[in-house]
Structure 1
Amino acid sequence: MAHINTLDPGASPLDYYGFELRRHREAAGLTQRQLGDIVNYTGSLVGQVETARKLPTLDFSERVDAALGTGGLLSRLVGLVMRSQLPAWFQQVAELEVRAIEICSFQAHMILGLLQTPAYARAVLGAVNRSDLDDRTAVRLARQRVFEKEEPPVFWAVLSEAALYLEIGGRETMRGQLAHLLAFEDNPRINVQILPFSAGAHAGSQGSFDVYRFADDPAIVYTEGYGSGHPTANPNTVKDCSLRYDHLRAAALSLKDSAELIRRATEDRYGEQVA
């Protein structure tokens, strides 16, 4: 007889997801293989998700919700599951992203996580450690669902021109990443500005940072080091970084000129014409 793990649904969001998946599957009178056949996944994968040995994806969750008539339960849970898999020091930041009505981000060297493509994210995360890379990439990309909310945050990203030329993941990956940035060109809630090399010394010279603003709570500034994050609501820090961000946006190219620079970088550096 196969050993069946008994999950404690209170142990973690992933355990709770697996517990609910098994409960609804059994209530429908289906085996793992039968459910897998219905949703076009293997029965083995269904079993791994039920025993919290495999992360569920949004696609898997939506298919199972439809097959079992769960009213979208698993699709709602998957975001919580993904956030729980982030490094402990970053989980608070993921919560800030979900709650914020405005996010202002300055990145000095690379494209930030909320705007990364799968290939780019995989290359960044696998630079030193390639263990569990599929799951870690999926967890990072799941944060981007914040833009699918009924009321998504207004997002401002100021990227150093260096981020366009630091070749992460190879030429094809960079072509896809820069095309992804251009896809937001007509989206008034996601705004990408490039800080050109010609700006010289600038207000972000001390490093990357984010400012999160909320409907009813004080703004929070977030900075990051190796393996650690530093959110703070200190009014003086928030005031200083908000002023710095205003200066960065003023020194950056306009939205239109930023898009043109991204196009030129794609053509000149990575050899593909972008319409």
Structure 2
Amino acid sequence: MNLYRVTDPEARGELMKLVEESRETAWWTQYNLGPGYERLIGLEGAAATICDYQIGTVPGLLQTPEYAAAVVRAWTDDPEVLRSAVDVRLARQQNLNDSTSLKIVIEESVVRRSIGGRQVMRDQIRKLMAMNDGSQLELRVLPLSAGAHKGLITGFIVLRFSESMTAGSAVGFSDIVYHEGVVGEGTYIEQAAEVQGYVQVFLGLQRMALDTRDTNSLLGEILREM
């Protein structure tokens, strides 16, 4: 994985300017989203690589509609809010650039935890296996047998940007870390040294995780056990 990183503050300012300017025609403006979530969606659309590590649920960019609904129900019973939240997650998947590379690591507990019931989990696991073909998505499962590691505390997302993100740009763009909030908005980490620390942790988790072939084999075993 490319460890390209730019610390020039002008880079971050230009990136956020692009995200804000794109908001006028962005698909997500039809939804009543908080500024932190809107920012995440804008950054997803600009990222060259998204490195996502999760310990609780399947990442939103990979969720089936039924799985997404089951997750959101833990926060709300309002049918309108529920429908809107699921629609946004599906729209994020559909609007993700084909050139964006997804590097995903999930704990084995994520696919063993029953969310939405047996059929919902079976469909979700089938989707993960079908998508994990090594093209746009590289999904790795970190097995429970891995023991202690630096990702035990929380999941996180590293959004990475290429030098040539925009034609004629004089600067590159700094990587950003996002933590999803339990209550309210998520938080962003933008200090270069901290971000690089998260990058190194993610690379370490990748090395500890199963490769894509063994990941699909494990997912198949779990599917047969259901």
TM-score using structure 2 length: 0.80
Distance in 2 between the 1:86 and 1:121 partners? 17
Deviation at 1:136, TM superposition (A): 1.9
Distance in 2 between the 1:175 and 1:195 partners? 19
Distance in 1 between the 2:109 and 2:99 partners? 28
Q: Which runs of 5+ in 2 are unaligned?
A: 1-23, 163-171
Per the alignment, residue 231 of structure 1 pairs with 188
Structure scoring higher RCO (CA < 8 A, sep ≥ 6) equals: 2
Per the alignment, residue 118 of structure 2 pairs with 171
The correspondence of residues 81-230 of structure 1 with structure 2, limited to 5 A, is 81-82=29-30, 84-131=31-78, 132=80, 133-147=82-96, 149=97, 151-215=98-162, 216-226=172-182, 227-230=184-187
- Residue among 209, 212, 215 paired with 1:258: 215
Tell me the secondary structure at the aligned position of residue 186 of structure 2. strand
Code of the residue aligned with 1:211 in structure 2: it is: V
Per the alignment, residue 62 of structure 1 pairs with none
1:79 equivalenced with 2:27 (yes/no) = yes
Code of the residue aligned with 1:80 in structure 2: it is: W
Tell me the secondary structure at the aligned position of residue 228 of structure 1. coil
Conserved 8 A contact 1:146-1:152: no
Rg: which structure is higher?
1
Code of the residue aligned with 2:95 in structure 1: it is: V
The correspondence of residues 10-89 of structure 1 with structure 2, limited to 5 A, is 79-82=27-30, 84-89=31-36
Tell me the secondary structure at the aligned position of residue 192 of structure 1. strand
Deviation at 1:78, TM superposition (A): 7.1
**How many corresponding residue pairs?**
192
State the superposition RMSD in angstroms.
1.8
Percent identical residues = 32
Code of the residue aligned with 1:117 in structure 2: it is: T
Distance in 2 between the 1:235 and 1:81 partners? 30
4+ aligned runs moved over 4 Å, structure 1: none
